[in-house]
Amino acid sequence: MSIVEVKVPQLSESVAEATMLTWKKKAGEAVAVDEILIEIETDKVVLEVPAPSAGVLAEIVQPDGATVVADQLIAKIDTEGKASAAAPAAAPAAAPAPAAAPAAAAAATGGSKSDVAMPAAAKLLADNNLKTSDVAGSGKDGRVTKGDVLGAVASGAKPAAAVAAPAAKPALPQVAAPAGAPDLGERPEQRVPMSRLRARIAERLIQSQSTNAILTTFNEVNMAPVMELRKRFQDSFTKEHGVKLGFMSFFVKAAVHALKKYPVINASVDGNDILYHGYFDIGIAVGSPRGLVVPILRNADQMSFADIEKKIAEYGKKAQDGKLGIEEMTGGTFSISNGGTFGSMLSTPIINPPQSAILGVHATKDRAVVENGQIVIRPMNYLAMSYDHRIIDGREAVLGLVAMKEALEDPSRLLFDI
């Protein structure tokens, strides 16, 4: 017998411990080299733990849900062992059903359909007694996402083996009652522990509100010039760069333009000092199945419109698939939150510490405005910038937001840096 140890990968310096999610293999099952055995959740990212060697999973040392630290032993692989007879014995039983063919094929190659479900989706599948084969995946390589499972549950999807079973009582939206739960009639409840990321988000938001003197200033911007410019060059831009020209690249460029004029908005508090940053790392708030994440556009001042759009698209995809790395979400000197994608008209965004300001972007709607004494219809967007009043005075905050407004209403300012 030759044993290879499976250990927790290295965590970032700011992460002390992590939580084991769900093992994809059982003890006694065969594993291939680099096959993902389990995901480990930190308060920032989900890390995949691949098999360091092919063989048989001889022992699972740390179970699902266990709290672990970097380099801790979690399993053992016997590189000379053979899979137990019980594991493959189940495959022929499913053979008569035509729908089981893909699963049998996957098993023959050492994998399973559950391997293509994202961590959050896998939990929902288990909660609803569903298999991956019961849900159509829309993620990369056909992976099943949390949204796929929620959509399937909402449409009344049932386990393949229990199609004829009586329908269960309605569950809470996005919450499925666990097996064996007491009958609560028409008022169901379910207590679910926060994920590490959700707990970290809560901690940081409370920290932000308790340590920063947060004030928010508002302004409105006529988005017609940006919309016209975008419409004019959309086709050629997409053909040239392989990505659509969105609005976020304009907001990023306008923000950098304002931060250069008023550097204190790009600064942060360090004890009794003000730390001015000579670079512009812009955080973009992105929703994910695990919660809100803020990946960073490094040196955004040096990025083209195409660079920004490509990076945002990449981050959005990674966020949905749970693939964002710690280094991609660390740092940042200023953030942008676009609630407009969800229809928000106005909000007061919370600063992402240790930053000192954040821009909130909202839905663009046709509104009646006055121009030259005449009432006209214009596509208007309300901008909100929350800032730390400890170091940013009202003057700099208001003028900074006005600079963003002017850059959006006359994009040529970005070309001439005026």
Ordered by start, the domain boundaries in the chain are 3-78, 200-415
Residue 414, SS3 per DSSP: helix
**Farthest-apart Cα atoms in the chain, separation:** 87
Residue 312, SS3 per DSSP: helix
Q: What is the pTM of this model?
A: 0.64
* CATH 3.30.559.10 for domain 200-415: yes
- Cβ atoms of residues 290 and 322 within 8 Å: yes
Residue 389, SS3 per DSSP: coil
Residue corresponding to tokens 């979690």:
74
User: How would you write the pLDDT of the chain (418 residues) with one tens digit per residue?
Assistant: 688 899 988 876 667 788 888 899 888 889 998 888 998 888 767 788 999 988 899 899 999 888 888 889 999 998 887 766 554 433 343 444 444 344 333 333 344 444 466 666 676 677 677 777 777 776 656 677 766 777 676 666 655 544 444 444 444 445 554 555 555 567 888 888 887 777 877 888 888 888 889 999 999 999 999 999 999 999 999 999 999 999 999 999 999 999 999 999 999 999 999 999 999 999 999 888 777 889 999 999 999 999 999 999 999 999 888 888 878 888 899 999 999 988 999 999 999 989 999 999 999 999 999 999 999 999 999 999 999 999 999 999 999 999 999 999 999 988 887 7
Residues sharing a CB contact under 8 Å with residue 171, sequence separation 6 or more, in sequence order: 177, 188, 190
Hey, what are 391's tokens?
């170091």
Listing DSSP states for 132-196 in one string gives: GGGS---SGGGPBPHHHHHHHHHTT---GGGTTSPPPPP--TT--PPTT----TT------PPPH
d(CA 60, CA 57): 7
Residue 289 has phi, psi (to 5 degrees) of -60, -25
- Cβ atoms of residues 349 and 358 within 8 Å: yes
- Cβ atoms of residues 66 and 88 within 8 Å: no
196-200 LR contacts (CB < 8 Å, sep 24+): 196/18, 196/19, 196/41, 196/42, 196/43, 197/41, 197/42, 197/43, 197/44, 197/290, 197/291, 197/293, 198/290, 198/291, 199/43, 200/43, 200/44
Ramachandran bin of 69, using left for φ above 0, alpha for ψ from -120 to 50, beta for the remaining angles: beta
Tell which CATH classification among 2.40.50.100, 3.50.50.60, 3.40.47.10, 2.40.160.10 matches the domain 3-78. Answer: 2.40.50.100
Q: Using alpha carbons only, how large is the chain's radius of gyration in Å?
A: 25
- Cβ atoms of residues 122 and 105 within 8 Å: no
User: Cα angle vertex 283, ends 282, 284, to 5°?
Assistant: 115
DSSP 134: G
d(CA 415, CA 410): 10
Annotation says 273 is catalytic: no
Residues pairing with 370 in the sheet: 375
Candidate list 34, 64, 393, 410, residue with the active-site label? 393
d(CA 133, CA 192): 26
Annotation says 393 is catalytic: yes
Residues sharing a CB contact under 8 Å with residue 255, sequence separation 6 or more, in sequence order: 282, 334, 336, 359, 404
**Which amino acid makes up residue 243?**
V
Candidate list 115, 241, 277, 389, residue with the active-site label? 389
